[in-house]
Amino acid sequence: MELLYNKKLGVSPTSTKEELKVMKNLLSAVVLVGLCSVCANAQVKNPLGKLGSAAVKGVKSFTVSDAEVIGYANDYMKWMDANNPVCKTSAKDKGMQTVADRLGQITSAIPADLTKELNLNVLSYYVVDVNAFACANGDIRIFAALMDLMTDDEILAVIGHEIGHIANKDSKDGFVTALRISALRDATGALGGKTAAKLTNSQLGDLAEALGHAQYSQRQEIDADAYGYEFLKKCGKDPVNMASSLGVLLKLQEEAGSSQNSKFKNLFSSHPDLKKRIETLNTK
Protein backbone atom coordinates (compact mmCIF):
# COMPACT_ATOMS: atom_id res chain seq x y z
CA MET A 1 0.00 0.00 0.00
CA GLU A 2 2.70 2.49 -0.89
CA LEU A 3 1.81 4.00 -4.18
CA LEU A 4 -0.39 7.11 -4.66
CA TYR A 5 1.28 9.42 -7.17
CA ASN A 6 4.46 7.49 -6.45
CA LYS A 7 6.54 9.81 -8.67
CA LYS A 8 8.55 6.82 -9.86
CA LEU A 9 9.77 5.63 -6.46
CA GLY A 10 10.82 2.36 -7.99
CA VAL A 11 14.16 0.94 -6.87
CA SER A 12 15.59 -2.41 -7.84
CA PRO A 13 15.12 -4.80 -4.91
CA THR A 14 18.06 -6.85 -6.16
CA SER A 15 20.48 -3.93 -6.40
CA THR A 16 19.49 -2.15 -3.17
CA LYS A 17 19.60 -4.89 -0.55
CA GLU A 18 20.22 -2.45 2.29
CA GLU A 19 17.20 -0.37 1.34
CA LEU A 20 15.10 -3.50 1.02
CA LYS A 21 16.16 -4.52 4.53
CA VAL A 22 14.97 -1.19 5.88
CA MET A 23 11.73 -1.41 3.92
CA LYS A 24 11.05 -4.88 5.28
CA ASN A 25 11.09 -3.47 8.78
CA LEU A 26 9.01 -0.40 7.96
CA LEU A 27 6.53 -1.95 5.55
CA SER A 28 5.98 -5.45 6.80
CA ALA A 29 2.94 -4.07 8.57
CA VAL A 30 1.52 -3.19 5.18
CA VAL A 31 1.74 -6.59 3.60
CA LEU A 32 0.75 -8.41 6.76
CA VAL A 33 -2.69 -6.91 6.58
CA GLY A 34 -3.44 -10.11 4.70
CA LEU A 35 -1.13 -10.35 1.72
CA CYS A 36 -2.81 -7.37 0.17
CA SER A 37 -4.86 -4.26 0.42
CA VAL A 38 -7.94 -3.54 -1.65
CA CYS A 39 -5.56 -1.50 -3.77
CA ALA A 40 -2.37 0.50 -3.29
CA ASN A 41 -1.67 4.00 -2.05
CA ALA A 42 1.05 6.25 -0.68
CA GLN A 43 1.81 7.80 2.68
CA VAL A 44 -1.45 9.69 3.00
CA LYS A 45 -3.87 10.94 5.62
CA ASN A 46 -7.06 9.16 6.60
CA PRO A 47 -9.51 9.71 3.71
CA LEU A 48 -12.37 10.09 6.18
CA GLY A 49 -10.59 12.81 8.14
CA LYS A 50 -12.23 15.71 6.30
CA LEU A 51 -15.66 14.16 6.03
CA GLY A 52 -18.41 15.03 8.50
CA SER A 53 -20.79 12.39 9.82
CA ALA A 54 -23.57 13.68 7.58
CA ALA A 55 -21.36 13.26 4.52
CA VAL A 56 -20.42 9.73 5.53
CA LYS A 57 -24.09 8.85 5.91
CA GLY A 58 -24.61 10.21 2.42
CA VAL A 59 -22.33 7.53 0.99
CA LYS A 60 -25.28 5.19 0.63
CA SER A 61 -26.97 7.62 -1.75
CA PHE A 62 -24.37 6.89 -4.43
CA THR A 63 -25.12 4.09 -6.86
CA VAL A 64 -22.87 2.68 -9.55
CA SER A 65 -23.48 -0.13 -12.02
CA ASP A 66 -21.16 -3.11 -12.58
CA ALA A 67 -20.18 -1.68 -15.97
CA GLU A 68 -19.32 1.66 -14.39
CA VAL A 69 -17.24 -0.04 -11.70
CA ILE A 70 -15.17 -1.78 -14.36
CA GLY A 71 -14.85 1.45 -16.31
CA TYR A 72 -13.62 3.37 -13.28
CA ALA A 73 -11.31 0.49 -12.33
CA ASN A 74 -9.81 0.52 -15.82
CA ASP A 75 -9.20 4.28 -15.60
CA TYR A 76 -7.73 3.89 -12.13
CA MET A 77 -5.31 1.16 -13.13
CA LYS A 78 -4.19 3.08 -16.22
CA TRP A 79 -3.38 5.96 -13.89
CA MET A 80 -1.58 3.69 -11.42
CA ASP A 81 0.50 2.07 -14.14
CA ALA A 82 1.36 5.47 -15.60
CA ASN A 83 2.63 6.68 -12.23
CA ASN A 84 4.57 3.59 -11.18
CA PRO A 85 7.38 1.59 -12.83
CA VAL A 86 5.81 -1.43 -14.52
CA CYS A 87 8.20 -4.28 -15.26
CA LYS A 88 8.25 -5.23 -18.94
CA THR A 89 10.38 -7.65 -20.93
CA SER A 90 11.10 -4.77 -23.30
CA ALA A 91 12.42 -2.52 -20.51
CA LYS A 92 15.92 -1.10 -20.88
CA ASP A 93 16.62 -1.81 -17.23
CA LYS A 94 17.92 -5.38 -16.86
CA GLY A 95 16.42 -5.74 -13.42
CA MET A 96 12.95 -4.89 -14.69
CA GLN A 97 13.41 -7.34 -17.56
CA THR A 98 14.36 -10.08 -15.13
CA VAL A 99 11.30 -9.47 -12.94
CA ALA A 100 8.99 -9.40 -15.96
CA ASP A 101 10.47 -12.61 -17.37
CA ARG A 102 10.14 -14.38 -14.05
CA LEU A 103 6.56 -13.24 -13.51
CA GLY A 104 5.67 -14.35 -17.03
CA GLN A 105 6.99 -17.83 -16.32
CA ILE A 106 5.08 -17.97 -13.03
CA THR A 107 1.77 -16.83 -14.49
CA SER A 108 2.03 -19.26 -17.41
CA ALA A 109 0.69 -21.86 -14.98
CA ILE A 110 -2.64 -20.02 -14.60
CA PRO A 111 -5.41 -21.83 -16.51
CA ALA A 112 -6.34 -19.92 -19.66
CA ASP A 113 -10.07 -20.23 -19.01
CA LEU A 114 -9.69 -18.56 -15.61
CA THR A 115 -7.66 -15.72 -17.11
CA LYS A 116 -10.38 -15.16 -19.70
CA GLU A 117 -13.26 -15.46 -17.23
CA LEU A 118 -11.88 -12.88 -14.78
CA ASN A 119 -9.97 -10.79 -17.35
CA LEU A 120 -6.78 -11.28 -15.36
CA ASN A 121 -3.78 -9.06 -16.02
CA VAL A 122 -0.87 -9.74 -13.67
CA LEU A 123 2.09 -7.35 -13.73
CA SER A 124 4.82 -6.25 -11.34
CA TYR A 125 5.79 -2.82 -10.02
CA TYR A 126 9.53 -2.28 -9.67
CA VAL A 127 9.43 -0.89 -6.14
CA VAL A 128 11.00 -1.79 -2.79
CA ASP A 129 7.59 -2.00 -1.11
CA VAL A 130 6.56 -5.50 0.03
CA ASN A 131 2.98 -5.85 -1.16
CA ALA A 132 0.48 -7.05 -3.75
CA PHE A 133 -3.05 -6.01 -4.66
CA ALA A 134 -5.99 -6.87 -6.88
CA CYS A 135 -8.45 -4.48 -8.52
CA ALA A 136 -12.08 -4.96 -9.51
CA ASN A 137 -11.33 -5.16 -13.24
CA GLY A 138 -9.06 -8.21 -12.90
CA ASP A 139 -5.76 -6.35 -12.66
CA ILE A 140 -3.27 -7.75 -10.16
CA ARG A 141 0.02 -6.08 -9.25
CA ILE A 142 2.82 -7.93 -7.47
CA PHE A 143 5.59 -5.73 -6.10
CA ALA A 144 9.13 -6.71 -7.06
CA ALA A 145 10.37 -6.65 -3.46
CA LEU A 146 7.77 -9.23 -2.48
CA MET A 147 8.89 -11.43 -5.36
CA ASP A 148 12.46 -11.07 -4.11
CA LEU A 149 11.44 -12.76 -0.83
CA MET A 150 9.51 -15.74 -2.19
CA THR A 151 9.89 -18.78 -4.41
CA ASP A 152 8.03 -18.96 -7.71
CA ASP A 153 5.32 -21.20 -6.28
CA GLU A 154 4.87 -18.97 -3.24
CA ILE A 155 4.39 -16.01 -5.57
CA LEU A 156 1.84 -18.03 -7.51
CA ALA A 157 0.07 -18.64 -4.19
CA VAL A 158 -0.04 -14.89 -3.56
CA ILE A 159 -1.50 -14.42 -7.04
CA GLY A 160 -4.07 -17.12 -6.28
CA HIS A 161 -5.01 -15.31 -3.07
CA GLU A 162 -5.50 -12.10 -5.04
CA ILE A 163 -7.55 -13.90 -7.68
CA GLY A 164 -9.69 -15.17 -4.82
CA HIS A 165 -10.53 -11.60 -3.84
CA ILE A 166 -11.57 -10.90 -7.44
CA ALA A 167 -13.59 -14.10 -7.84
CA ASN A 168 -15.29 -13.59 -4.47
CA LYS A 169 -16.20 -9.99 -5.42
CA ASP A 170 -14.18 -8.60 -2.50
CA SER A 171 -12.19 -6.32 -4.80
CA LYS A 172 -15.36 -5.03 -6.43
CA ASP A 173 -17.10 -4.33 -3.13
CA GLY A 174 -14.05 -2.53 -1.76
CA PHE A 175 -13.69 -0.51 -4.95
CA VAL A 176 -17.34 0.58 -4.89
CA THR A 177 -16.98 1.72 -1.29
CA ALA A 178 -13.84 3.67 -2.16
CA LEU A 179 -15.58 5.25 -5.15
CA ARG A 180 -18.42 6.43 -2.95
CA ILE A 181 -16.13 7.83 -0.27
CA SER A 182 -13.79 9.57 -2.69
CA ALA A 183 -16.74 11.05 -4.61
CA LEU A 184 -17.78 12.90 -1.46
CA ARG A 185 -14.54 14.87 -1.59
CA ASP A 186 -15.87 16.92 -4.48
CA ALA A 187 -19.53 17.77 -5.03
CA THR A 188 -18.90 17.79 -8.79
CA GLY A 189 -17.58 14.25 -8.69
CA ALA A 190 -20.88 12.49 -8.02
CA LEU A 191 -20.83 8.93 -9.31
CA GLY A 192 -23.42 6.70 -10.84
CA GLY A 193 -26.10 6.83 -13.51
CA LYS A 194 -26.00 9.53 -16.14
CA THR A 195 -23.81 11.78 -13.97
CA ALA A 196 -20.85 9.40 -14.06
CA ALA A 197 -17.90 10.87 -15.92
CA LYS A 198 -14.21 10.24 -16.46
CA LEU A 199 -12.31 10.75 -13.22
CA THR A 200 -9.87 13.64 -12.96
CA ASN A 201 -6.33 13.23 -11.62
CA SER A 202 -7.46 14.74 -8.34
CA GLN A 203 -10.36 12.31 -8.06
CA LEU A 204 -8.09 9.39 -8.94
CA GLY A 205 -5.78 10.53 -6.17
CA ASP A 206 -8.66 10.61 -3.69
CA LEU A 207 -9.73 7.17 -4.90
CA ALA A 208 -6.24 5.76 -4.38
CA GLU A 209 -6.18 7.22 -0.89
CA ALA A 210 -9.51 5.64 0.00
CA LEU A 211 -8.47 2.29 -1.47
CA GLY A 212 -5.20 2.32 0.42
CA HIS A 213 -6.99 2.64 3.74
CA ALA A 214 -9.56 -0.03 2.94
CA GLN A 215 -9.16 -3.44 4.54
CA TYR A 216 -10.64 -6.84 3.82
CA SER A 217 -12.54 -8.58 6.58
CA GLN A 218 -11.21 -11.61 8.41
CA ARG A 219 -13.71 -13.82 6.57
CA GLN A 220 -12.65 -12.43 3.19
CA GLU A 221 -8.98 -13.08 3.91
CA ILE A 222 -9.60 -16.64 5.07
CA ASP A 223 -11.76 -17.34 2.02
CA ALA A 224 -9.05 -15.90 -0.25
CA ASP A 225 -6.50 -18.20 1.42
CA ALA A 226 -8.76 -21.16 0.72
CA TYR A 227 -9.19 -20.06 -2.89
CA GLY A 228 -5.42 -19.76 -3.28
CA TYR A 229 -4.99 -23.27 -1.89
CA GLU A 230 -7.38 -24.77 -4.48
CA PHE A 231 -5.96 -22.52 -7.19
CA LEU A 232 -2.49 -24.01 -6.70
CA LYS A 233 -3.88 -27.50 -7.23
CA LYS A 234 -5.54 -26.37 -10.47
CA CYS A 235 -2.18 -25.02 -11.58
CA GLY A 236 -0.54 -28.38 -10.86
CA LYS A 237 1.41 -26.99 -7.91
CA ASP A 238 1.74 -28.17 -4.33
CA PRO A 239 -0.95 -26.29 -2.34
CA VAL A 240 1.34 -26.25 0.68
CA ASN A 241 2.84 -23.15 -0.90
CA MET A 242 -0.20 -21.13 0.20
CA ALA A 243 0.75 -21.69 3.84
CA SER A 244 4.42 -21.29 2.97
CA SER A 245 3.83 -17.82 1.51
CA LEU A 246 2.08 -16.81 4.73
CA GLY A 247 5.06 -18.19 6.60
CA VAL A 248 7.32 -15.71 4.81
CA LEU A 249 5.05 -12.91 5.99
CA LEU A 250 4.96 -14.30 9.52
CA LYS A 251 8.74 -14.20 9.61
CA LEU A 252 8.66 -10.55 8.55
CA GLN A 253 6.19 -9.80 11.30
CA GLU A 254 8.39 -11.47 13.87
CA GLU A 255 11.44 -9.57 12.63
CA ALA A 256 9.54 -6.28 12.80
CA GLY A 257 8.22 -7.01 16.28
CA SER A 258 4.65 -6.64 17.44
CA SER A 259 4.44 -5.46 21.03
CA GLN A 260 1.04 -4.72 22.51
CA ASN A 261 1.56 -0.97 22.14
CA SER A 262 3.14 -0.98 18.71
CA LYS A 263 1.49 0.46 15.63
CA PHE A 264 1.94 -2.96 14.05
CA LYS A 265 -0.25 -4.55 16.71
CA ASN A 266 -2.95 -1.96 16.14
CA LEU A 267 -2.83 -2.45 12.39
CA PHE A 268 -3.06 -6.24 12.64
CA SER A 269 -5.76 -6.26 15.30
CA SER A 270 -8.69 -6.44 12.88
CA HIS A 271 -7.19 -9.17 10.72
CA PRO A 272 -6.76 -12.92 11.04
CA ASP A 273 -3.75 -14.11 12.96
CA LEU A 274 -1.14 -15.37 10.52
CA LYS A 275 -0.32 -18.39 12.67
CA LYS A 276 -3.98 -19.35 12.80
CA ARG A 277 -4.34 -18.92 9.04
CA ILE A 278 -1.32 -21.14 8.46
CA GLU A 279 -2.71 -23.76 10.86
CA THR A 280 -6.06 -23.67 9.03
CA LEU A 281 -4.35 -24.29 5.70
CA ASN A 282 -2.22 -27.08 7.12
CA THR A 283 -5.32 -28.98 8.19
CA LYS A 284 -6.55 -29.25 4.59
Q: pLDDT digits over 265-275, tens only?
A: 444 444 557 88
| DSSP 8-class letter at 55 | H
Whether the Cβ atoms of residue 99 and residue 93 lie closer than 8 Å to each other: no
User: Which residues neighbour 115 within 8 Å (Cβ) at sequence distance 6 or greater?
Assistant: none
Neighbours of 262 (CB within 10 A): 13
Highest-confidence range of 17-21, 208-212, 261-265, by mean pLDDT?
Answer: 208-212
DSSP 100-129: HHHHHHHHTTS-HHHHHHHT-EEEEE--S-
User: Distance (Å, rounded) from C-alpha 229 to C-alpha 69?
Assistant: 28
The residues carrying an active-site annotation are 162
On the question of pLDDT at 226 being above 70, the answer is yes
pLDDT by residue (tens digit) across 36-75?
444 433 322 333 333 333 334 444 556 778 888 898 899 9
pLDDT by residue (tens digit) across 251-265?
877 777 654 444 444
